Amino acid sequence: MSDQQDVKGFSEESLIHWLEQHGIPSYRAGQILRWIYHKGVYSFSEMTDLSKDLRGFLSEWLVISRLEVEQVQTSEDGSRKYLFRLQDGQHIESVLIPEPGHWTLCISTQVGCGMGCAFCLTGRGGFVRNLEPQEIIGQVCTVRDDLPGEIPLTNVVLMGMGEPFANYQNVVQAIRTILGNNGLQFSSRRVTLSTAGLPPGIDDLGRDVMVNLAVSLNAADNDTRSRLMPINRTYPLETLLSACRRFPLPPRRTIMFEYVLIAGVNDAPEDAERLARLLRPLRAKINLIPFNPFEGTEFERPDEGVISAFQKVLMSRHYTVVIRHSKGADICAACGQLSPRSRNAKASPVPDSGCSTLDGGAQSPGLIKGA
């Protein structure tokens, strides 16, 4: 039926409401969701604790979507980049990252991005559209079903394509499903949302759902940050950090501040000193990300000695500082390299020649309806 609705697009509350409107007891919502998210089924016919008549009714009115994987690339370091084709022909990418004893999945929240950060390939194509909750959740479900070996997927980071706070309602609904007992059952300590710095979204997130917060900072003065990140012209550092101070942190949690190190732009010892002073009032962890080059960029990655010196300044000021040597660079899966146009071709190596935004022919519909 053309008016079938996608179950993954429902929150648990809205599914209960839909069922009750059709004379179906509310407890059935939990059964349906557990079949989908705990057992990974894509057909109502597999839900054996539902009556045959109910399964037939649900199949008539609802679908269980599956994202179409158009391409998977595997890096030399074991990272896997998934290119998904959506129902309208648009594309998004997710990256599965190997960690000791577990996997981390980096997922997207928009097709493209409207933030226009100068160091990020994703933003060069501009914003296309927001992802629906089922498209955000579907990345986790599809990759989980495709996991290589017995190592579990335990961590999800919303750090892929798009600005999560620019798609707030859909993102929060998806997060609630990712965390929910009748959803994917991830721990809130293992789900992280990264923002370019939208203070209203930080305030809303602190009120609505508890996950880890990461802020893409990248400069400790407004002039440099505005040059790198246009959003700083609307929400300068003072406004952003005020929102960070308001964000409710459970005991022993910190806000992660991400800092892309760019040669000759923000990597001097004086920049590190400014950053240390700027974050002093906050419970902060600093994640240094050496710039990942891509085709057409004017920026360069700093030398290892410069990166190490920057870290040492911050550590001398008693910050926890991690240098993130991004995985998947050889397949354009590193931080800042995702692009909806990089399909059907092998990525160029990095940093020798940078990553290309490659184009190719799309093939079949993106949401496979499995009811």
pLDDT tens for 159-208 read 999 999 999 999 999 999 999 999 999 999 999 999 999 999 999 999 99
On the question of pLDDT at 124 being above 90, the answer is: no
pLDDT at residue 313, as a whole number: 98
CA distances from residue 48 to 53, 144, 157 in whole angstroms, order as listed: 11, 23, 34
On the question of pLDDT at 315 being above 90, the answer is: yes
On the question of pLDDT at 34 being above 60, the answer is: yes
On the question of pLDDT at 354 being above 50, the answer is: no
Tell me the residue type at 15.
L
SS3 234: coil
Quote the mean pLDDT of the chain: 89
Tell me the residue type at 114.
G
Query: Would you say domain 68-369 falls under CATH 3.40.50.170?
Result: no
pTM score of the predicted model: 0.88
Out of 46-55, 87-96, 121-130, 215-224, pick the least confident: 121-130
Extract the tokens encoding 119: 């160091």
What DSSP designation does 224 have?
H
Query: Does residue 354 contact residue 346 with C-beta atoms inside 8 Å?
Result: no
Q: pLDDT band for 362, please (50, 70, 90 cuts).
A: very low
pLDDT at residue 329, as a whole number: 56
Q: Which of residues 338 and 251 earns the better pLDDT score? A: 251
Q: Where are the alpha helices (DSSP H) in 247-303?
A: 269-279
Query: Using CA atoms, how far apart are residues 265 and 268, in angstroms rounded to an integer?
Result: 8
Q: pLDDT band for 122, please (50, 70, 90 cuts).
A: confident
Query: Using CA atoms, how far apart are residues 64 and 62, in angstroms rounded to an integer?
Result: 7
Region 5-25: what's the mean pLDDT? 98
Region 252-266: what's the mean pLDDT? 97
pLDDT at residue 2, as a whole number: 57
Q: Which of residues 334 and 364 earns the better pLDDT score? A: 334
Q: Which of residues 263 and 292 earns the better pLDDT score? A: 263
Out of 129-133, 198-202, 252-256, 337-341, pick the least confident: 337-341
Query: Does residue 102 contact residue 147 with C-beta atoms inside 8 Å?
Result: no
Query: Using CA atoms, how far apart are residues 106 and 85, in angstroms rounded to an integer?
Result: 17
Query: Using CA atoms, how far apart are residues 52 and 331, in angstroms rounded to an integer?
Result: 47
Q: pLDDT band for 92, please (50, 70, 90 cuts).
A: very high
Name which of 236, 245, 307 is nearest 271 in CA terms. 307
Q: Is 64 exposed, middle or buried (0-12, 13-18, 19+ CB in 10 A)?
A: buried
CA distances from residue 62 to 9, 42, 315, 366 in whole angstroms, order as listed: 10, 11, 54, 17
Region 256-266: what's the mean pLDDT? 98
Query: Using CA atoms, how far apart are residues 356 and 350, in angstroms rounded to an integer?
Result: 10
pLDDT at residue 230, as a whole number: 97
Query: Using CA atoms, how far apart are residues 32 and 46, in angstroms rounded to an integer?
Result: 10
Q: Which of residues 263 and 123 earns the better pLDDT score? A: 263
pLDDT at residue 82, as a whole number: 96
| Range list for CATH 3.20.20.70 in the chain | 68-369
* Neighbouring C-alpha atoms within 13 Å toward the C-beta of 48: 1
How large a percentage of the chain has pLDDT more than 90? Answer: 82
pLDDT at residue 324, as a whole number: 86
What positions carry a catalytic annotation?
A: 93, 335
Q: pLDDT band for 308, please (50, 70, 90 cuts).
A: very high
Q: Phi-psi bin for 104: left (phi > 0), alpha (psi -120 to 50), beta?
A: beta
| Range list for CATH 1.10.150.530 in the chain | 5-63
Q: Which of residues 81 and 335 earns the better pLDDT score? A: 81
On the question of pLDDT at 295 being above 70, the answer is: yes
Region 245-253: what's the mean pLDDT? 95
pLDDT at residue 326, as a whole number: 58
pLDDT at residue 251, as a whole number: 92
pLDDT at residue 293, as a whole number: 86
Region 22-41: what's the mean pLDDT? 98
Region 219-242: what's the mean pLDDT? 98
Give the list of residues 6+ apart from residue 339 with CB closer than 8 angstroms, or none.
93, 121, 122, 124, 125, 161, 332, 357
Out of 28-42, 96-110, 344-358, pick the least confident: 344-358
Instruction: Tell me which of 3.40.50.720, 1.10.10.10, 3.50.30.10, 1.10.150.530 is the CATH number of domain 5-63.
Output: 1.10.150.530
pLDDT at residue 292, as a whole number: 86
